[in-house]
Amino acid sequence: MTEERVVALAGLFQATALTQQLASEGRCDETAFDASIASVFRIDAPSVVGVYGHVSAVRLGLRQLIAQLDDNARDMAITRMAVTVMRLERSLSRNRALTDDLQKGIVSAQRQVEHFGQNSAQVTKRLADLYASTLSTLKPRVMVTGNPQQLQQPAVVEKVRASLLAAVRSAVLWRQVGGRQWQLLINRKQCSMIARGLLTGSTLDNG
């Protein structure tokens, strides 16, 4: 397990944790949400860390990853969602036409970022619509469970879908750097150790 793979995994677990926060409470860690959404637009970043801007941008994800690797602290809803997203990414990789549509949609959304700003409701809605028209048509579908009242709010649903799009972005990155699902089972201790080191380093860097 390499640092690059752990950072990509942290990105995946961060986005799925945000999805779960939104589904349960109707709100989430906005700093982490902004970092996850930014990763969707960094298609040609020079490094894995560059996709997120800095290791500290996936601090929530590193904490989640450590918790998921610890049997006593695991949130099964987040674990299940992350595994489903990995499988969804594999379906996407076999569908060239849909991959092209997704990339074109992200480029189009980038123009809205330049106009409205990345944190705008317009950009979130565009990413949510893009998820609905592409990734949600593939199997397996990501099942999000939470508070039914929250999941009836259009603004919450849009942020949930935008977060899931960010999760798939991280799953693509994880596979690009050689990540495979079985590594999580075999290299759990090593993965947790690297994640703890990255988390400590990012905390020291940022005070």
pLDDT tens digits for the chain (207 residues)? 899 999 999 999 999 999 999 999 999 999 999 999 999 999 888 899 999 999 999 999 999 999 998 877 788 899 999 999 999 999 999 999 999 999 999 999 999 999 899 999 999 999 999 999 999 999 999 999 999 999 999 999 999 999 999 999 999 999 999 999 888 889 999 999 999 999 998 877 654
Work out the angle between the directed axes of helices 30-41 and 59-69 (0-180°, nearest 10).
100
Cβ density class 43-53: b for 16+ within 10 Å, e for less: eeeeebbebbe
Query: Using an 8 Å Cβ cutoff, are 6 and 194 in contact?
Result: yes
| Token pair listed for 130 | 């893009």
Query: CA-CA distance, 68 to 178, in Å (whole number)?
Result: 20
| Token pair listed for 21 | 């926060």
Work out the angle between the directed axes of helices 59-69 and 3-25 (0-180°, nearest 10).
90
The domain spans of the chain are 3-206
- In CATH terms, 3-206 corresponds, of 1.10.3890.10, 1.20.960.40, 3.40.1390.10, 2.60.40.1120, to 1.10.3890.10
Helix boundaries (H) for 26-75: 30-41, 48-52, 59-69
Say if pTM beats, i.e. exceeds, 0.85: yes
